[in-house]
Structure 1
Amino acid sequence: MVLLTMVLTKYAVIDSIFFSNLSFKNYTLIHTTYLGITLTYYQFTLLALSILSITAGGYIINDIFDIEADKINKPLKVILEKSISKKKAWILYYSSTILGLFLGTYLSFTIENSLYSFFFIGTILVLFLYSKYLKKTLIIGNLIVSLLLGLVVLITVIFNEPKAHNSNLLEVISNMATSIRLLLITITYIVFSVLTNLIREIIKDIEDINGDLKIKAKTLPILFGRKRASKVAFFFCAVLLVFLLIILQSLIKEYVLLTYGILFILLPLLYFMYKLWSSQSKKDFSLLSNLMKVIMLFGILSMVLFRLK
């Protein structure tokens, strides 16, 4: 999902906005001249590998700290202490994380933006703190991991936004308008990613309440009960619904995007909310978690439509 988000953000959204009418000889658009795409294919590959390595490290460290809870929540899917020892898991964590940090820092210095390396350092620290402490806290852990998912879109845009060469006022205005459009699209996908993942994280906490009780976590369903936690998730669904309606309203003349949004995102969300209101069992919440993953996937795939316009 992370790799798909990065690839579509760059090659479907950014390229379609900046280079749809591109003259490949001098990177010239109508009224707009660009010095070129910030990242080459090689550099983008480094960025993707860096993010994927850090993400993999996050999953590993999360499994290490969650092993006792996972033995209860998903006993058949536990790998640690069965197929792989804790010691080897720690080695994999350090190897993956250090590789991701090295690649990200190297790329930042290569493109002469060394401050960008703090994105990778900060993400690693936050993932560790999340797995060790914050995951057990009320809503904070859910929000942090959701923001990190939205950060994938932001980092991809920041690293890949073309550098503009402004030779006259018309080009300045054109460049500004294009950048504002990209900013609005970026914010839209970040908000969508954060809200959908936040809802899914709450659903997963409800689903995993038994294992979380053993590790003395203070998640939403543990402190307030499954029913109230599901109503909180429903509230965020309502927020997401209002957000989607606003976005769809703005796409009233973009028939393809509008139709796609209604059929593959809005209607599944309404069905999700309907099922959420009456869900009670672990199986119900497991199905809801998978359904939200499908909604998230369709949201990401909507980026392809920018390429087809």
Structure 2
Amino acid sequence: MLAFMQLIFRYGFFKIQNIPLALADWQYGLLILSTVLIAAGGYVINNIFDQHTDVINKPKTVIVGKDISEIQAYNLYIGLTVTGVAIGFYISNVIVKPGFASIFILVAATLYLYATSLKQMMLIGNIIVALLLSFSVIIIGIFDLYPATGLDNQQQMGLFFSILLDYAIFAFMINLLREIVKDIEDTDGDYNQGMNTLPIAIGKSRTGKIVFGLSFIPLFFILFYINKYLFELLFVTLYLLLFVVGPLIFFTVKVWTAKTKKEFHFLSILLKCILLFGILSVVVISLNIKYNA
């Protein structure tokens, strides 16, 4: 999903708009690889510390301690993270901004802290994961737009960066909902491990009602955005109403009555689909603008 999002923004948006970009295609590929490797490292370290929880929550998908040993998992984590940070260091030097390498180190460190301690703090872990996903959108602007910005195109590049920021906000809101829904789904295993997630603190039912209330924020955000910026683009408006707004309304309705683990699992997948279709809308916007449909 991370790689797909980053590919979509470059080849489904920036390239179509024909704007100057700082990275060559193969260098942009390395940026994606760096992001994916660091995220994969975070996934591995999270699985290492979640072994006992996953045995209860996801017994069929347990890998660490079953398919590979804990030592092998630690070696894999170190290899993925170090390689990802090293590539990030190279890309930072390519754009003559060596200080930007600290971004990759900070992200890797945050993922480690999340797995070891932050995820056990009520809502803090959810917010961190949602922020990291949204940052994977912003990082495109930092490494591909910002270095190519000069006095002659500052206004144009600022507009594209603001669009990236809008999508990052959308990704944050949807992923925050998904993280809380996953906590509801995983309540039993998390409770046995002494974690302090929101559904453990206030109960599944109340947490579901909070998610219901929070789901109106991205819903109104998208409707406002369509009305203010996209209403004249017919195909974009129809696409967003059918593939983002409609499913989000369906999610809002279903989360109010959801009770079982199976129902919350379905809602988690639904949010991932909404995020995917939301990101794909940037291609629809580009084509709609280009062909003035």
How far did 1:13 drift? 2.2
Q: Is 2:280 the partner of 1:301?
A: yes
Which whole-Å deviations, capped at 9, do the CAs of 1:119-139 have from their partners, x for residues lacking one? 100000000000110111110
The one-letter code sitting in structure 2 at the alignment partner of 1:120 is F
Q: 1:65 aligns with which of 31, 42, 49?
A: 49
Q: What is residue 154 of structure 2 aligned with on the other side?
A: 176
Correspondences of 1:124-273 after superposition (within 5 Å)? 124-161=108-145, 163-164=148-149, 166=151, 172=152, 175-250=153-228, 251-273=230-252
Spell out the pairing of 1:19-30 with structure 2 (5 A cutoff). Answer: 19=19
Cα distance change of structure 1 residues 63 and 178 upon mapping to structure 2, 3 Å threshold: same
* 1:74-120 alpha-carbon deviations (Å, 9 max, x no partner): 11111111111111000000000000010001111122101111110
Output the CA distance in 1 between the equivalents of 2:130 and 2:24: 29
Contact 1:17-1:182 within 8 A present in 2 as well = no
In the aligned structure 1, how far is the partner of 2:245 from the partner of 2:21?
A: 34
**Cα-Cα RMSD:** 1.3
Q: 1:17: how far off?
A: 3.4
Choose which of 59, 71, 88 in structure 2 pairs with 1:75: 59
Q: Which residue matches 1:169? A: none
Residues 149, 157 of structure 2: 8 Å contact kept: no
The amino acid that maps onto 1:227 is S
TM-score, reference length from structure 1: 0.90
Unpaired segments of 5 or more residues in structure 1?
A: 20-35, 167-171
- Stretches of structure 2 lacking an aligned partner (at least 5 in a row): none
Q: Deviations over 1:22-70 (max 9, x none)?
A: xxxxxxxxxxxxxx42000121111111111001101000000001000
Corresponding residue for 2:104? 120
Higher helix share: 2
* Equivalent runs, 1:72-111 vs 2, <5 Å: 72-111=56-95
- 1:279 and 2:264 aligned: no
Distance verdict in 2 for CA 1:275–1:256, change over 3 Å: same
Per-residue deviation at 1:184? 2.5
Query: Which amino acid in 1 is paired with 2:244?
Result: I
- Aligned partner of 1:17 in structure 2 is 17
Deviation at 1:164, TM superposition (A): 4.3
C-alpha separation in 2, matches of 1:294 and 1:13: 20
**Which letter maps to 1:145?**
V
- The 8 Å contact of residues 67 and 78 in structure 1, kept in 2 or not, is answered as yes
* Contact 1:12–1:306 (8 Å) recurs in 2: no
Alignment correspondent of 2:40: 56
Q: 2: distance between equivalents of 1:189 and 1:8?
A: 12
Q: Which amino acid aligns with 1:12?
A: G
Alpha-carbon distance, 1:183 to partner: 2.6
TM-score, normalised on structure 2? 0.94
- Which has the larger Rg? 1
Report SS of the residue matched to 2:11.
helix
Greater relative contact order structure (CA < 8 Å, 6+ sep)? 1
Q: SS at 2:67's partner residue?
A: coil
* C-alpha distance in structure 2 between counterparts of 1:164 and 1:96, whole Å: 32
Tell me the CA shift for residue 254 of structure 1.
1.1
Give the partner amino acid of 2:263: D
For the residues of structure 2 that align with 1:115 and 1:306, how far apart are their CA atoms? Answer: 34
